[in-house]
């Protein structure tokens, strides 16, 4: 079953064979793969070699292992689509944050917890908000859950001057959220920018978002600007890549 003369490592050959059986449908999503011992017999290689092969598939996000139960073909996840329309004033007027509106549409029970703190801007934050490094910023740390499961982390930062003495420094910002408070204070939002990337999660993110091995995270840094171009707020979001897709639309110029 394994060609030792090909120069290709045995564990890669085993992984390739299993991957092929998965994409061909021989093992369907949710199916259990043969146990490691069965694979040892089938391919005539040692157990560590089988484990190397399975670990490769795990790091690719193709399968997930469950202790005591077996190794399963990763079932496809329901994808949440986040569109930029989630930020319209119309939505805010209905007292719905982006997350709550999504929950209502998708039919899950949302919850979230917020921590507020103040810190000095590091270089990256200072650049995005166009303030001096070291200047004080208000930080709103937010964990969003759907049906109790953590699905999104968000860290929002604003120059402290914009929030001093306003509900934006409280845990509960009131109807419409921070953006509504900003506009009440005369800071009308003119446009948004989002910068999207992806990377592997830190160990903290892995446990917080309960990510399976081989699942990257999508990072979104959104910056809200006033009419005159002054940055008002930046928001660093971390989303599990297997559960989210972002959509953007714009007219051709």
Partner DNA sequence: GCGGGTAAGTGGTCAAGACGAGTTGTCGTC
Partner DNA sequence: GACGACAACTCGTCTTGACCACTTACCCGC
Which positions lie near a copy of itself, rule CB under 8 A? 16, 19, 48, 55, 59-61, 79, 81, 84-85, 87-90, 188-203, 213-218, 224, 241-242, 244-253
Q: Choose among DNA, a copy of itself, none what residue 69 binds, the Cβ cut-off being 5 to 8 Å by kind.
A: DNA
| Interface region with DNA, contact rule CB under 7 A, candidates 68-76, 104-112, 173-181, 218-226 | 68-76
Q: How far apart are CA 251 and CA 54, in angstroms?
A: 46
Q: Is 41 in the site for DNA (CB under 7 A)?
A: no
Q: Choose among DNA, a copy of itself, none what residue 184 binds, the Cβ cut-off being 5 to 8 Å by kind.
A: none
Q: How far apart are CA 146 and CA 60, in angstroms?
A: 26
Give the residue with the Cβ less far from a copy of itself, 139 or 246. Answer: 246
Q: Is 10 in the site for DNA (CB under 7 A)?
A: yes
Question: Using an 8 Å Cβ cutoff, are 76 and 29 in contact?
Answer: yes
In 3D, which of 181, 179, 203 has the Cα closest to residue 191?
179
Q: Is 9 in the site for DNA (CB under 7 A)?
A: yes
Closest distance of CB 12 from DNA, Å: 6
HSE of 32, CA atoms in CB hemisphere, 13 A: 9
Closest distance of CB 232 from DNA, Å: 45
Take residue 71 and report the two structure tokens written for it: 């190794």
HSE of 227, CA atoms in CB hemisphere, 13 A: 4
In 3D, which of 139, 152, 126 has the Cα closest to residue 205?
152
Taking the alpha carbons at both ends of the chain, their separation in whole angstroms is 57
| Interface region with DNA, contact rule CB under 7 A, candidates 3-11, 112-120, 163-171, 221-229 | 3-11
Binding residues vs DNA (CB under 7 A): 9-12, 33, 35-38, 44-49, 51-52, 54, 65-71
């Amino acid at each position: 079953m394994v060609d030792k003369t090909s120069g290709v490592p045995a564990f890669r050959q085993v992984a390739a064979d299993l991957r092929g059986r998965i994409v061909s449908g021989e093992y369907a999503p949710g199916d259990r793969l043969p146990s490691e011992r069965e694979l040892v017999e089938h391919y005539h290689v040692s157990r560590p070699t089988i484990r190397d092969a399975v670990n490769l598939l795990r790091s690719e996000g193709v399968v997930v292992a469950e202790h005591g139960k077996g190794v399963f073909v990763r079932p496809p996840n329901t994808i949440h689509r986040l569109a930029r329309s989630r930020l319209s004033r119309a939505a805010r007027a209905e007292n719905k944050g982006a997350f709550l509106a999504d929950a209502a549409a998708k039919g899950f029970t949302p919850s979230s917890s917020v921590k507020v703190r103040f810190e000095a801007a590091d270089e990256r934050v200072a650049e995005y908000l166009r303030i001096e490094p070291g200047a004080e910023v208000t930080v709103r740390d937010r964990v969003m859950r759907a049906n109790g499961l953590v699905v999104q982390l968000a860290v929002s930062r604003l120059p402290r001057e914009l929030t001093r003495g306003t509900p934006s420094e409280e845990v509960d910002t009131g109807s419409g959220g921070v953006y509504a408070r900003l506009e009440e204070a005369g800071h009308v939002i003119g446009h948004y920018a989002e910068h999207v990337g992806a990377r592997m999660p830190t160990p903290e993110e892995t446990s917080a978002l309960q990510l399976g091995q081989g699942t990257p995270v999508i990072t979104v840094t959104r910056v809200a600007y006033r009419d005159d171009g002054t940055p008002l707020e930046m928001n660093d979001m971390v989303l599990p890549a297997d559960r989210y897709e972002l959509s953007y639309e714009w007219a051709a110029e």
